[in-house]
């Protein structure tokens, strides 16, 4: 999570009071964290990673989808 240390911060060309920093980043910018293991430069269980990534986006209501070719 980021940190706001002054009175205001900018997000998507809008300025906000630092008191709402946590709310803005929780509500406006949900995050998805997915780690892909590589062995000899090749991804391991890539199909499963992509499925998890797409499911996480769906749960968060994020308009995102990727497939193995992308």
Q: Specify the residue for token string 């906000």.
A: 16
Whole-prediction pTM: 0.55
Q: What is the mean pLDDT of the chain?
A: 83
pLDDT: which is higher, 35 or 46: 46
Q: What is each CA distance from 42 to 10, 54, 65, in whole angstroms?
A: 39, 21, 22
The pLDDT value given to residue 6: 77
What's the whole-number mean pLDDT along residues 51-62?
90
What is the C-alpha separation between 26 and 37, in angstroms, rounded?
A: 27
pLDDT, tens digit, 9 for 90 and up, residues 14-39: 888 888 887 877 766 667 878 889 99
């Amino acid at each position: 999570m980021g940190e706001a240390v002054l009175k205001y911060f900018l997000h998507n060309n809008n300025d906000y009071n630092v008191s709402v920093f946590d709310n803005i980043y929780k509500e406006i910018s949900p995050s998805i964290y997915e780690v892909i293991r590589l062995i000899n430069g090749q991804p391991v269980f890539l199909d499963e990673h992509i499925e998890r990534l797409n499911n996480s986006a769906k749960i968060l209501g994020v308009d995102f989808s990727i497939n193995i070719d992308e």
